[in-house]
Amino acid sequence: MSFDYILNRYIIPYGISLGIAILIYLIGKMVIPIVLTVVDKLLSKSGVEETLKKFVKSIIKSLLYIILIIAILSKLGVDTSSFVAILGAITFAIGFALKDSLSNFAAGAMIIIFKPFKVGDFIEAQGYAGFVKEIQIFNTLLKTPDNKIAIIPNGGLSTGSTLNYSTMNTRRVDFTFGIGYGDDIDKAKEVIAKVANEYDLVLKSPEPFIAVSELADSSVNFTVRVWTKTDNYWDVYFYMFEKVKKGFDEAEVSIPFPQRDIHVHNAN
């Protein structure tokens, strides 16, 4: 076997393939950063959160390098069909093992994109209530009113019901006040109306609603509804209870409470 035969049969073809493989690598090294830059700009224009943006870019980067490696190996004459099959099987196995995590990731992406709630909102979901502290890729962190951190998987948040208390600018605050059957209903209504109307955090429109709603076993109950800015909800809630109680005391309107009469009989 002559050198010319070896040169023409093996060295030159493999040298050309090697050169093309190197060229593919160099082109890939230049193109991949450009593609990632374009993806970064598109994600930024879409308003995607930084955490999700980094995760998406890392996935795309990994996929591009896998494609680049397969293209180089194919050009070098390596049979990549088995490699692709093995890679697919590994990907399927990993995906099946991490199906819950992937579900949480997809749910986290949907939450970040569609924003049913945002950081700082007060929500109630999955048996927890609190302020949204952080929206992560797999979990959402809630800070409860008693300063605990609840870690909720995003999958449950996306498929379950979520009550967002912060979406609207105003909220209605509901109360029930009871007075004795012997007390003056009109006087009680005046006291409640005075307290509500004099507090600057209670909105004038819609105006406060005050009405007798129940003739209970030991009290005549008023349903009271006032509106306020969402941020002022608890201020109004506690203020109304305190001031209505003081107003009833000044107006000599009684608030019924459970009582028990005990009769002692002398057996002698």
- How far is CA 66 from each of CA 87, 111, 202, rounded to the nearest angstrom? 10, 29, 62
Least confident of 29-38, 63-72, 160-169: 63-72
The amino acid present at 252, given as its one-letter code, is: E
- How far is CA 96 from each of CA 82, 86, 152, 207, 222, rounded to the nearest angstrom? 21, 15, 22, 57, 57
48-104 pLDDT, tens digit each: 666 667 767 777 888 888 888 888 877 777 666 666 666 666 666 655 554 566 677
Least confident of 55-64, 215-224, 244-253: 55-64
**Residue 108, pLDDT above cutoff 70:** yes
* Mean pLDDT of the 234-251 span: 96
* Mean pLDDT of the 152-162 span: 86
Q: Per-domain residue ranges for the chain?
A: 7-97, 116-164, 170-251
Long-range CB pairs of 182-188, under 8 A, 24+ apart, other chains included: 182/254, 183/220, 183/253, 183/254, 184/253, 185/212, 185/220, 187/251, 187/253, 188/222, 188/248, 188/251, 188/253
Q: pLDDT over 90 for what percent of the chain?
A: 41
**Residue 4, pLDDT above cutoff 80:** no
**Residue 219, pLDDT above cutoff 90:** yes
261: DSSP letter: -
Assign a CATH topology to domain 170-251: Alpha-Beta Plaits (3.30.70)
- How far is CA 238 from each of CA 27, 75, 211, rounded to the nearest angstrom? 68, 75, 20
- How far is CA 153 from each of CA 33, 102, 147, 159, rounded to the nearest angstrom? 33, 11, 19, 11
7 or 189, which is more confident? 189
Q: Provide the pLDDT for residue 211.
A: 96
Least confident of 60-74, 79-93, 143-157, 206-220: 79-93
- Are the C-beta atoms of residues 198 and 186 closer than 8 Å to each other? no
The amino acid present at 97, given as its one-letter code, is: A
Interaxial angle between packed helices 99-114 and 50-75, expressed in degrees from 0 to 180 and rounded to the nearest 10: 130
* Mean pLDDT of the 218-244 span: 95
Q: From the centroid of its chain, how far is CA 243?
A: 36
Q: What's the mean per-residue pLDDT of the chain?
A: 83
- The helix, strand and coil proportions of the chain, stated in percent and rounded to the nearest 5, come to 55, 20, 25
**Residue 38, pLDDT above cutoff 60:** yes
- Are the C-beta atoms of residues 234 and 173 closer than 8 Å to each other? no
pLDDT-derived band at 184 (thresholds 50, 70, 90) equals: very high
pTM: predicted TM-score of the whole model, two decimal places: 0.60
* Mean pLDDT of the 214-218 span: 90
Dig out the tokens for 246 from the structure. Answer: 């003081």
Q: pLDDT over 70 for what percent of the chain?
A: 79
Assign a CATH topology to domain 116-164: SH3 type barrels. (2.30.30)
* Mean pLDDT of the 199-219 span: 94
Q: From the centroid of its chain, how far is CA 142?
A: 8
- Report whether CATH 1.10.287.1260 matches the domain 7-97: yes
